[in-house]
């Protein structure tokens, strides 16, 4: 398969295929007649694996490590399990941070409903943000 065919089968862009090739996550042979990169079914299998692993939160570097371990004949499953066990609490922490951020945004919008729009006057950039910051500082 050529780049565009592989991309279509894997439901990714051709640039994604090229990027993963440059990173060494998938390999291609060169067609001696025209110089095109030709991919086999292993490349398609790896592309599907990369997409699934990415959806679970694995980085491309981690996926590379998984491939290296698998290619050497060792099961990467224990490493994958360990990595994911670490990712779950990290992700929960990020979600909590995002929820707190969302709450601040919603509080700001609610407070701004009653406030007029101001004009920059050389001392103020946007009164909504500046007065919101002042209000929150006085509450603390």
User: What digits encode the pLDDT tens for the residues 7-46?
Assistant: 999 999 999 999 999 999 999 999 888 888 999 999 999 9
The string of pLDDT tens digits covering residues 81-138 is 999 999 999 999 999 999 999 999 998 888 888 877 877 777 777 888 887 766 555 5
pLDDT the model gives residue 136: 56
Hey, is 137 helix, strand or coil? Answer: helix
Question: Which helix H or strand E contains 101, and what residues bound it?
Answer: helix 77-112
Rounded distance between C-alpha atoms, residue 71 and residue 122, angstroms: 63
Residue that is written with structure tokens 């050389």 in the block: 122
Radius of gyration of the chain (CA): 25
Hey, is 29 helix, strand or coil? Answer: strand
Q: Where in the chain is the domain with CATH 1.10.1660.10?
A: 1-74
Q: Domain 1-74's class?
A: mainly alpha
pLDDT the model gives residue 134: 60
pLDDT the model gives residue 40: 95
User: Between vectors from CA 87 to CA 83 and to CA 90, what angle results, nearest 5°?
Assistant: 145
């Amino acid at each position: 398969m050529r780049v565009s065919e592989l991309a279509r089968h894997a439901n990714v862009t051709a640039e994604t295929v090229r990027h993963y090739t440059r990173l060494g996550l998938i390999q291609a042979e060169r067609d001696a007649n025209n110089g095109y990169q030709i991919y086999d079914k292993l490349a398609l299998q790896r592309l599907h694996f990369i997409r699934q692993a990415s959806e679970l939160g694995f980085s491309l570097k981690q996926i590379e490590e998984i491939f290296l371990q698998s290619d050497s004949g060792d099961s990467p499953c224990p490493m994958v399990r360990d990595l994911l066990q670490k990712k779950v609490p990290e992700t929960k922490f990020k979600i909590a941070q995002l929820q707190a951020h969302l709450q601040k945004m919603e509080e700001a919008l609610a407070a701004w409903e009653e406030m007029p729009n101001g004009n920059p006057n050389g001392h103020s950039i946007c009164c909504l943000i500046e007065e919101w910051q002042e209000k929150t500082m006085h509450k603390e």
